[in-house]
Amino acid sequence: MGTLKEILSSSERIVFLTGAGVSVPSGIPDYRSKNGLYTGRENPEYLLSATCLREEPDVFYAFVRDNMYYPNAKPNAIHEKMAEIERRDGKQVTVVTQNIDGLHGLAGSRNVVEFHGSLYRCHCQKCGVTVRAEQYLESDKHAECGGGIIRPDVVLYEEGLPEDAINGALHAVTQADLIVIVGTSFKVSPFCNLTDYRKKGSVVFAVNQELLRLPFPFTMIQDDAVSVFKEL
């Protein structure tokens, strides 16, 4: 087994599977770590659930508006290097991300599967019209149609994943020569099940500060992902 840099160089079809740890260096907190979004909150999953949106839309909106949006966040070295590998080296690169912050796209990655949706796409639940995130941050009431409730296009607890996201992720994984798991504990289903569909002979690396334990051979780089990607 070669180094990650060597394997990246020799691989033509690459999939990066990214989690919250990729966005932490951009100033966006993760969910369950010591300083994460859920720390000190009682039943935080409820605040991001379909039930909360339906039954207590004001509670849902206040939590999302005040805690989820980081419009001034910028892509970091991890996002930028993934985009560079695609742009500079002409590789077939797909990023499948759990993140809902849009930073992979801002960095220039063209093939991004947003597995859990994006905060920066919103729509009115009453009339279905697309609404800019900037408008949503001002109010979740859609005045144009008489006060429909606006919501971001993210997958909430109790909701299923979009079919196009599942199909896009599976297609990329089944074709990949190399799969690189970055910035995630890789324990949340069904995201963590994507590697079950890798093709025979594909290579898997994981870059994460927490040790991953996977039921198949892979190479673990237990280190800060920013440092690792800066060296690629």
Q: How far is CA 208 from CA 5, 119, 228, in A?
A: 16, 25, 10
Distances (CA, A) of 79 to 69, 109, 164, 177, 225: 18, 8, 23, 20, 10
SS3 label, residue 213:
coil
Catalytic residue among 79, 116, 142, 171: 116
Cα separations (Å) of 229 from 18, 100, 190, 207, 222? 13, 21, 26, 9, 13
Q: Respond yes or no: is residue 116 known to be catalytic.
A: yes
Q: Rounded to whole angstroms, how far apart are CA atoms 118 and 71?
A: 13
- Continuous segment of H or E residues that includes residue 113: strand 112-114
Catalytic sites, residue numbers? 116
